[in-house]
Structure 1
Amino acid sequence: MKVCLVGSSGGHLTHLYMLKPFWQNKERFWVTFDKADAQSLLEDEKMYSCHYPTNRNIKNLIKNTIVAWKVLRKERPDLIISSGAAVAVPFFYLGKLYGAKTIYIEVFDRIDASTVTGKLVYPITDKFIVEWEEMRRVYPKAINLGSIF
């Protein structure tokens, strides 16, 4: 199984990194911002850079859609996992076209309201994970696995 882990640097990247017991023995690659924290954390990992800022930035959404198309066509992952932010959107939608399964993990600090990215990927995500039971009112088909932290 080949896994694509896609997310913004900072907290989103940390969130994905905490899933190490799951991804450590799998073929994988990362898509994140080319920033110091990502370079340090993913020093020995295969990483593709994406464009930022992403929040409400149409220009970078278009650029990241092109990145997603190129990376997904080359890598052909079986599974795409993200905890946000906006860079996940083109990877999830294009990934579905390439036959990948998707898992989205809504961020820990959302207890009773959705994120923009969560709203955008919820309709097409194979597994939508929340970390608070209250979030199941926001995302009825979500699975509450509790805190990753």
Structure 2
Amino acid sequence: MKKDNIKVCLVGSSGGHLTHLYMLKPFWSTRERFWVTFDKEDARSLLKDEKMYPCYFPTNRSLKALIKNTKIAWKVLRKERPDLIISSGAAVSVPFFYLGKLFGAKLIYVEVFDRIDKPTMSGKMVYPIADKFIVQWEEQKQVYKKAINLGSIF
């Protein structure tokens, strides 16, 4: 399979996480893709011409949300079969990464810009299984030893 001929799943909370993913447009714009995010106004507006699957929110440390989003991840991933899943968090990334790994997808996680010296909860949870773990500050490599610092997305 050629690198340009891959199907990409971009998964993340709306707001800043979604903005991080959207800023990767030079990468994803030429590829077959779909999005998984909250069904909120900012996401609907930003992704109006994109294929989008809504996920359950609020997700903050919610077992109910994890269960619901795991069911959504199972259905979406079975249907779409992405080759690559990219996320910058937050909690919705966790079921998509773990189930995506089972489906054979490659996983790239981009730790958020505003966390310099402490890990995010989602980052800690997906770090062990991510194929590439990207940080935006050199200091973050003290937290995530196998991370790659690509600098700021902004």
Per the normalisation by structure 1, the TM-score is: 1.00
1:73 maps to which residue? 78
Matched, 1:125 2:140: no
TM-superposed CA distance for 1:73, in Å, is 0.2
Per the normalisation by structure 2, the TM-score is: 0.96
TM-superposed CA distance for 1:122, in Å, is 0.2
- Spell out the pairing of 1:1-149 with structure 2 (5 A cutoff): 1-149=6-154
SS of 2:50's partner is: coil
Question: Which runs of 5 or more residues in structure 2 are unaligned?
Answer: 1-5
Identity %: 80
Pairs aligned (count): 149
Match of 1:135, as an amino acid?
A: Q
> Structure 1: which 4+ aligned runs deviate by more than 2 Å?
none
Q: Deviations over 1:125-148 (max 9, x none)?
A: 000000000000000000000000
RMSD: 0.3
Match of 1:18, as an amino acid?
A: M
TM-superposed CA distance for 1:55, in Å, is 1.1
Match of 1:23, as an amino acid?
A: W
Question: Which runs of 5 or more residues in structure 1 are unaligned?
Answer: none
SS of 2:85's partner is: strand
Q: Deviations over 1:59-84 (max 9, x none)?
A: 01000000000000000000000000
The whole-number CA distance in structure 2 between the counterparts of 1:141 and 1:55 is 26
